[in-house]
Amino acid sequence: MTSTERDPSLRAAAEAWLADDPDPASRDELRAVLDDPSELADRFAGPLRFGTAGLRGPLRAGPNGMNLAVVRGAAAGLVRWLAAQQTGPDDRPLVIGYDARHGSHAFAMETARVATGAGRRALLMPRPLPTPVLAFAVRRRGAAAGVMVTASHNPPQDNGYKVYLADGAQLVPPADAGIERAIREVGPLAEVPLGPPGEVLTEDIVREYVDAALGVVDPEVPRELAVAYTPLHGVGREVFAATLAAAGYPAPFVVAEQAEPDPDFPTVAFPNPEEPGAMDLLLALAARERADIAIANDPDADRCAVAFARDGGWQQLRGDEVGALLADHLMRRGVRGRYATTIVSSSLLSRMCEDQGLPYGETLTGFKWIVRAGDDLVYGYEEALGYCVAPDLVRDKDGITAALLVCELAAGLRAELRTLGDRLDELALRYGVHATDQLSIRVADLGEIAQMMATIRARPPVDLLDEPVISIEDRLPDADVLILRAGTTRVVVRPSGTEPKLKAYLEVVEPVADPADLPGARERAAAGLAALRTETATALGLK
């Protein structure tokens, strides 16, 4: 008896998928694994669902992967849902962007053909471009919605599908559930009408974005700054360089090995600037060229990593540090309004807002929540290197405008013979050292994540760093998040919404008595984080 004969329902599901899959290459791929029960079980474990950042998964045949069939179904469900929201005629287009990953252009074209087949105009971006440009275009072109085909900073074997609504922000409930229902109701994919590939936008949309981005910075402040930059084999370089030039900054030094889009990301294990080693080539270039700062965008340029020269070496900043620096810079410029971050970010921003008498917002993880923190939002960030420095321009994280604002801050400090580190010291003296770190556990089986979450929920620690746990906040069922607090120590545990990881976000706050105490306070905080990592790992059931 063959393996598939022992599981006829799985075989039947695979054969039904084969009969409806419009892509010959995917059909051949699926036929090759019909007798592999574990492979079929994974591919048919369920459909991809809208997570923190839309659909995202491995490029492979079957419902639990990114492929032409899944994209056709997603696009058909989206356009039908859009049509159902209107009580009258709706001539607003669907704007579609894509990055340079494997399959991105084909998925974008398929989405356009589904849209036009349903009678809706489709506007394709002129070439592979950063996600923020697509988010900008949704509102600039008065679209009903936008689609960005990207897996952001995921490994090369992945792709994804982000959906933006007419307000330029990513999906939130109940729209995501409504679209998923519409996708399930699509029926046979062969019966989905396909139209022409839509209209390709001109480069004007890029120029409009660059022109609008200039409003982020003050034209009257210093511009002398040496910047080393990498797009990490992604699509950010041309737009970042054009924005920097238009703002009057010198051209950046660019990592040659990573300058051009390459969907295989050959120089990095993971194309995520947070990953160890991802910025090694950038920091080497920065040292050779004696740059003032080093900036990395992730492959779709919606995130921004920053490092600066310090004590003869280079210090890479955490997302919470850049988030606080940019918030402080805007506050010093007199930008009034709501400043927001997420439950997993540092508590420092809340302290700064309280001190400045500014409204503060705290949301669930993801920019789809941050940009909805309030109508008065002027700035939002998340610790995973995402920053929204101009909500009126892009209602999402934007690694281009964030990098531009970092340049303004660094150039102003350089003119005073100071660095980003000096400004961080000032913040620490005023508010204490807010040290953050992350325990990130990558898994092959998503069941391991559920087991770890169940373990810490069943037996949460009674103390952290020798202080009693004073509160345990479980966000179920709204979110799979557990928050533990002990004095000024905090641990937030949640599954990643974009990768097969469990993440624990750690924070230790150390008061600073005076400038001479700064090194000691940082050492105490670092020791506390190291101990907290061990305690958290134990609570998760790790050996």
Listed in sequence order, the residues at least 6 apart from 466 whose beta carbon sits closer than 8 Å to its beta carbon are none
Q: Which two tokens stand for residue 514?
A: 């005076």
Q: What is the pLDDT of residue 311?
A: 87
Structural domain boundaries, residue 146: 46-190
The reply to whether 107 falls in a domain is yes
Which candidate in 3, 26, 104, 152 is catalytic? 152
| Three-state DSSP class for residue 317 | coil
Closest CA to 55 of 33, 75, 79: 75
Same domain, yes or no, for 367 and 323? yes
The reply to whether 196 falls in a domain is no
Same domain, yes or no, for 279 and 392? yes
CATH assignment at residue 459? 3.30.310.50
Domain boundary among 406, 429, 452: 429
Residue 59 has what DSSP assignment?
B
Same domain, yes or no, for 84 and 218? no
Q: What is the pLDDT of residue 334?
A: 97
The reply to whether 300 falls in a domain is yes
Chain centroid, CA 182 distance in Å: 26
Domain boundary among 156, 190, 224: 190
The reply to whether 100 falls in a domain is yes
Q: What is the pLDDT of residue 496?
A: 87
Same domain, yes or no, for 168 and 103? yes
The reply to whether 202 falls in a domain is no
312 backbone φψ class: left, alpha, beta (φ>0; ψ -120 to 50): left
Angle at 389 between CA 97 and CA 280, to 5 degrees: 75
232 backbone φψ class: left, alpha, beta (φ>0; ψ -120 to 50): left
How many structural domains compose the chain? 4
Same domain, yes or no, for 311 and 439? no
Same domain, yes or no, for 230 and 353? yes
Which residues partner with 440 through β-bridges?
A: 503
Buried b (16+ CB within 10 A) or exposed e, 302-330: bbbbbbbbeeeebbbbbbbbbbbbbbbbb
Same domain, yes or no, for 440 and 467? yes
pTM for this model (two decimals): 0.94
Listed in sequence order, the residues at least 6 apart from 543 whose beta carbon sits closer than 8 Å to its beta carbon are none
Domain boundary among 190, 215, 232: 190
Same domain, yes or no, for 443 and 478? yes
Same domain, yes or no, for 126 and 25? no
The reply to whether 195 falls in a domain is no
Same domain, yes or no, for 489 and 383? no
Q: Which two tokens stand for residue 220?
A: 């009257």
Catalytic residue flag (residue 38): no
CATH assignment at residue 115? 3.40.120.10
Same domain, yes or no, for 318 and 391? yes
Q: Which two tokens stand for residue 439?
A: 């325990």
Same domain, yes or no, for 386 and 472? no
Cα–Cα distance between 74 and 397 in angstroms, integer? 24
- Strand order, beta sheet including 227-230: 253-254, 227-230, 293-297, 304-310, 313-316
pLDDT tens track for 140-190:
999 999 999 999 999 999 999 999 999 999 999 999 999 999 999 999 999
Amino acid at residue number 18: L
The reply to whether 470 falls in a domain is yes
The reply to whether 197 falls in a domain is no
Q: pLDDT under 70 in the chain at which residues?
A: 1-6
Q: What is the pLDDT of residue 6?
A: 58
